[in-house]
């Protein structure tokens, strides 16, 4: 069913759209990817992309009676809009409203400012989220995977409704976004409604992205201040996935990541045998590479774990996975992907990843037909690229350098 998915691709007033029909679904969703994140905050307006996300959700969800969930990362903001199948005009109107910025009042602004600050405080308590950008900038400079968020409580509180409105007018444009529509409705009906809404609103056309409609890869243009990493993680490992040029490449690195850092993967097994406490794990997503970061807190097994991990990444070929290991992990990945594709949200997310060049085509056969050698090569690439760090006095210090 998914392997023969009938996908309709179109452009509506400059907005690239991917739409498909899922007759079994109980909801219709739109997954909107806007190419603005906290790394694109203008100097002096740190936090404006995140606050803009909150303002859009609060104002548009209420005015169009649509459920909206959103997240801002380093280079993008993603909105998930969900409606009942008989409320398609609400969804079309909400998407169109994203590109038709209007002023919002001070009360809404203050409420969402407080919400952003509370969210920032909660994320600061998750060590992998603060360590991962530090590993990216210290160990792999120039990557397109992720950059530290330089917003502070003070910078967010200093933002005004006029700042948010100006940011939306300057950056929220149809040709700097991608939309995926999934639900039981006819995709053409969705596109017609969206075209009518956006024509009425005459959404502006902003700065062009690449020829594919994607924003250009991010290149740092300023020095990022060092963050105090504290003592939450004593040992940190960062590793780059292999470059991806096709859906097969993306599927191979997906399975390889599970082999490397999944449960139970190589690192999980190694830490468990040595008695190390549970690790904090994150993936910083990029179009060319993903960066996997795993951190372990202080404990009696950390020194032994450091030696074992250093030995593993010093001789990657000795840890090349065999066919049985690949088969076991592949089976788990296929089962999880098949489960995700049974919901409108899961399918929309996979279609969006494919449309933005960060994920494989949403079909289990993409994973099932991969040769074992492709997966094993991707896993060895992870080990070859890995760098091991210790955190001391709030700073990273490399354990094994110059391999």
User: Sorting pLDDT into bands at 50, 70 and 90, what band is 122?
Assistant: confident
Residues 34 and 179 in one domain: yes
Residues 32 and 138 in one domain: yes
Q: What digits encode the pLDDT tens for the residues 190-211?
A: 899 999 988 765 544 444 433 2
Residues 170 and 77 in one domain: yes
229 in a domain, yes or no?
A: no
CB distance 254 to 266 below 8 Å: no
Choosing from 201, 223, 253, the residue where a domain stops is: 201
Residues 151 and 245 in one domain: no
- Report the C-alpha gap between 34 and 352 in whole angstroms: 11
Tell me how far CA of residue 143 lies from CA of 178, 197, 284, 288, in angstroms: 22, 38, 10, 8
User: Sorting pLDDT into bands at 50, 70 and 90, what band is 148?
Assistant: low
Residues 6+ positions from 324 with CB-CB distance below 8 Å? none
208 in a domain, yes or no?
A: no
331 in a domain, yes or no?
A: yes
CA 93 to chain centre: 26
Q: Please state, for a pLDDT cut of 90, what percent of the chain lies above it.
A: 49
Residues 132 and 251 in one domain: no
- Report the C-alpha gap between 285 and 304 in whole angstroms: 30
| 326 Rama class: left (phi>0) / alpha (psi -120 to 50) / beta | alpha
Residues 52 and 119 in one domain: yes
Residues 54 and 115 in one domain: yes
pLDDT score for 72: 92
Which of 57-71, 138-152, 281-295 has the weakest average pLDDT? 138-152
Residue 388 sits in which domain range? Answer: 235-398
Average pLDDT of the residues in 118-144: 74
Residues 13 and 159 in one domain: yes
CATH number at residue 163: 3.30.830.10
pLDDT score for 299: 83
210 in a domain, yes or no?
A: no
Residues 148 and 45 in one domain: yes
State the average pLDDT for the chain. 84
Q: Which of 304, 298, 228 is nearest to 270 (CA)?
A: 304
- Report the C-alpha gap between 163 and 50 in whole angstroms: 12
Residues 255 and 195 in one domain: no
Q: What digits encode the pLDDT tens for the residues 296-351?
A: 888 888 889 999 999 889 999 998 999 999 999 999 999 999 998 888 999 999 99
- 215 pLDDT higher than 50: no
Choosing from 147, 176, 201, the residue where a domain stops is: 201
pLDDT score for 212: 30
226 in a domain, yes or no?
A: no
- 75 pLDDT higher than 60: yes
Output 60 or 217, whichever has higher pLDDT: 60
Residues 264 and 383 in one domain: yes
Choosing from 150, 178, 201, the residue where a domain stops is: 201
Helix (H) or strand (E) holding 111: helix 106-124
Which of 121-135, 269-283, 292-306 has the weakest average pLDDT? 121-135
pLDDT score for 403: 39
264: preceding bond cis by omega (within 30 degrees): yes
Residues 48 and 167 in one domain: yes
216 in a domain, yes or no?
A: no
User: Sorting pLDDT into bands at 50, 70 and 90, what band is 392?
Assistant: confident
213 in a domain, yes or no?
A: no
Which pTM value belongs to this model?
A: 0.84
- For the chain, the domain total comes to 2
CB distance 205 to 99 below 8 Å: no
215 in a domain, yes or no?
A: no
- 400 pLDDT higher than 70: no
């Amino acid at each position: 069913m998914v392997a023969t998915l009938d996908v309709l691709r179109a452009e509506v007033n400059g907005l690239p759209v991917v739409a498909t029909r899922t007759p079994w679904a109980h909801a219709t969703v739109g997954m909107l990817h806007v190419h603005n994140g906290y790394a694109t905050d203008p100097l002096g307006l740190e936090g404006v992309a995140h606050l803009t996300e909150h303002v859009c959700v609060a104002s548009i969800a209420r005015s169009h009676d649509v459920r909206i969930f959103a997240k801002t990362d380093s280079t993008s903001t993603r909105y998930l809009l969900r409606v009942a199948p008989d409320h398609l005009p609400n969804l079309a109107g909400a998407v169109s409203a994203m590109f038709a910025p209007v002023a919002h009042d001070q009360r809404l602004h203050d409420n969402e400012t407080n919400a952003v600050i509370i969210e920032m405080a909660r994320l600061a308590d998750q060590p992998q989220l603060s360590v991962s950008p530090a590993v990216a900038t210290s160990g792999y400079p120039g990557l397109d995977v992720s950059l530290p968020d330089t917003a502070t409580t003070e910078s967010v509180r200093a933002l005004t409704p006029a700042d948010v409105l100006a940011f939306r007018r300057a950056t929220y444009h149809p040709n700097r976004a991608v939309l995926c529509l999934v639900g039981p409705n006819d995709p053409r009906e969705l596109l017609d409604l969206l075209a009518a809404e956006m024509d009425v609103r005459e959404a502006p056309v902003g700065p062009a992205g690449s020829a594919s409609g994607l924003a250009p890869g991010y290149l740092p243009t300023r020095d990022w201040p060092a963050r105090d990493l504290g003592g939450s993680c004593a040992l940190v490992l960062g590793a780059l996935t292999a470059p991806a040029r096709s859906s097969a490449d993306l599927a191979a690195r997906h399975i390889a990541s599970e082999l490397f850092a999944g449960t139970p993967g190589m690192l999980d097994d190694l830490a468990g045998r040595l008695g190390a406490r549970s690790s904090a794990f994150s993936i910083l997503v990029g179009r060319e590479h993903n960066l996997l970061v795993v951190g372990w807190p202080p404990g009696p097994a950390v020194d032994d774990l450091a030696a074992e991990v250093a030995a593993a990444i010093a001789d990657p070929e000795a840890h090349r996975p065999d066919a049985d290991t690949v088969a076991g992990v592949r089976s788990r990945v296929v089962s999880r992907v098949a489960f995700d594709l049974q919901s409108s949200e899961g399918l929309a997310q996979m279609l969006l990843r494919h449309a933005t060049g960060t994920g494989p085509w949403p079909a289990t056969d993409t994973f099932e037909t991969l040769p074992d050698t492709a997966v094993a090569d991707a896993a060895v690439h992870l080990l070859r690229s890995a760098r091991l760090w210790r955190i001391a006095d709030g700073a990273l210090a490399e354990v094994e350098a110059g391999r």
